[in-house]
């Protein structure tokens, strides 16, 4: 399983990174490459096009309805609706129930759709806590996590390899369950100890991400969702103080090749 970091800036796009978006690739037993996009936050549709042709996407999964995780679906919808290819079909989008209304509310396309353009290029599927579904060879489990809005983390498994993504969350049991034994745990660390203590139930710090990784016994912890105003060395040091396993601070365009032996190639 290969993970491309498209954008990893926390809470809003930063000067050197778009907001959250990750591309997951996996080849099935017949040799067919599957491509699933996990979140498409503000600014991320641009750099995505440096990695793949978005027309090659098989599905998108959206963790929650904060703009730094879904807003660039508006660009993807225009891309899909107006594309010169007529064989694209509807793109499956898995997300919270309110996602279709949010996207159409931003686009405001009702009544202004030219002839020949798809009015509904996306095929929406609603996520719920404990939901399990598959996209090609990828088996996906969704868990509700602790955030001010309905929010999910994901656990993806294929051919014995497990990749877990926190989404946005503070410490919670569901996060530990999602991450349990994962070969790669992509975990947000949007806050830092001390500075952000007055906010609870919103984000993890590097320390709390490291503690979750230690409890879950993950192969590698990859910290993400660091806002532009935070020195990434701080959450990294916090995590290292409580977790002895390998830890990476993700950067835009990083590639993680995840294997069930908990080793990745291409990661810094």
Closest CA to 70 of 100, 91, 49, 47: 100
The C-alpha atoms of residue 243 and residue 168 are separated, in whole angstroms, by: 20
Q: Which of residues 83-112 bind Zn ion (CB under 5 A)?
A: none
39 contacts Zn ion (rule: CB under 5 A): no
DSSP bridge partners of 221: 185, 247
Residue with tokens 């290969």: 2
Task: Using CB atoms within 10 Å of the CB of residue 106, give its burial: 0 to 12 exposed, 13 to 18 middle, 19+ buried.
Answer: middle
Q: Which stretch binds Zn ion (CB under 5 A): 42-50, 117-125, 168-176, 193-201?
A: 168-176
**To the nearest whole angstrom, how small is the minimum distance from the Cβ of residue 143 to Zn ion?**
15
Give me the least distance between CB of 39 and Zn ion, in Å please.
8
Site string for Zn ion, 225-254 (x = CB under 5 A): ------------------------------
Footprint of Zn ion on 47-66 (CB under 5 A) = 66
In the complex, minimum distance from the CB of residue 28 to Zn ion, in angstroms, rounded to a whole number? 31
C-alpha 237/C-alpha 116 separation (Å) is: 54
Which residue stretch of 74-82, 114-122, 162-170, 256-264 sits at the interface with Zn ion (rule: CB under 5 A)? 162-170
224, with CB counted inside 10 A (0-12, 13-18, 19+), is: buried
107, containing H or E segment: helix 99-107
Q: How far apart are CB 44 and Zn ion at their closest, in Å?
A: 12
Q: Which one among 68, 77, 238, 254 touches Zn ion, defined by CB under 5 A? A: 68
> By C-alpha distance, which of 207, 144, 136 is closest to 172?
144
Contact call for residues 234 and 206 (beta carbons, < 8 A): yes
Residue 25 interacting with Zn ion (CB under 5 A):
no
Closer Cβ to Zn ion, 68 or 264, answer by number: 68
Q: Does the footprint of Zn ion cover residue 168 (CB under 5 A)?
A: yes
Binding site for Zn ion (CB under 5 A): 66, 68, 168
């Amino acid at each position: 399983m290969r993970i491309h970091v498209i954008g990893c800036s926390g809470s809003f796009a930063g000067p050197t990174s778009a907001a959250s978006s990750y591309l997951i690739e996996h080849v099935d037993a017949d040799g067919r490459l599957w491509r699933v996009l996990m979140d498409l936050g503000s600014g991320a549709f641009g750099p995505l096009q440096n990695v793949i042709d978005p027309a090659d996407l098989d599905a998108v999964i959206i963790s929650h309805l904060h703009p730094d995780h879904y807003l660039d679906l508006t660009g993807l919808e225009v891309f899909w609706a107006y594309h010169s290819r007529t064989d694209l079909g509807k793109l499956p989008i898995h997300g919270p129930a309110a996602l279709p209304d949010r996207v159409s509310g931003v686009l405001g396309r009702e009544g202004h759709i030219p002839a020949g353009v798809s009015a509904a290029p996306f095929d929406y599927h609603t996520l719920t806590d404990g939901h399990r579904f598959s996209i090609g060879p990828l088996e996906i489990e969704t868990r509700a996590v602790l955030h001010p809005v309905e929010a999910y983390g994901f656990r993806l498994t294929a051919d014995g390899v497990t990749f877990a993504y926190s989404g946005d969350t503070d410490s919670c049991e569901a996060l530990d369950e999602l991450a349990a034994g994962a070969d790669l745990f992509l975990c947000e660390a949007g806050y830092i100890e001390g500075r952000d203590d007055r906010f609870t139930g919103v984000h993890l710090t590097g320390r709390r991400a490291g503690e979750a990784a230690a409890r879950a016994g993950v192969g590698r912890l990859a910290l993400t969702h660091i806002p532009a105003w935070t020195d990434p060395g701080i959450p990294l040091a916090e995590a290292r103080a409580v977790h002895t396993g390998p830890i990476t601070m993700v950067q835009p365009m990083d590639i993680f090749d995840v294997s069930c032996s908990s080793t990745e190639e291409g990661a810094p």
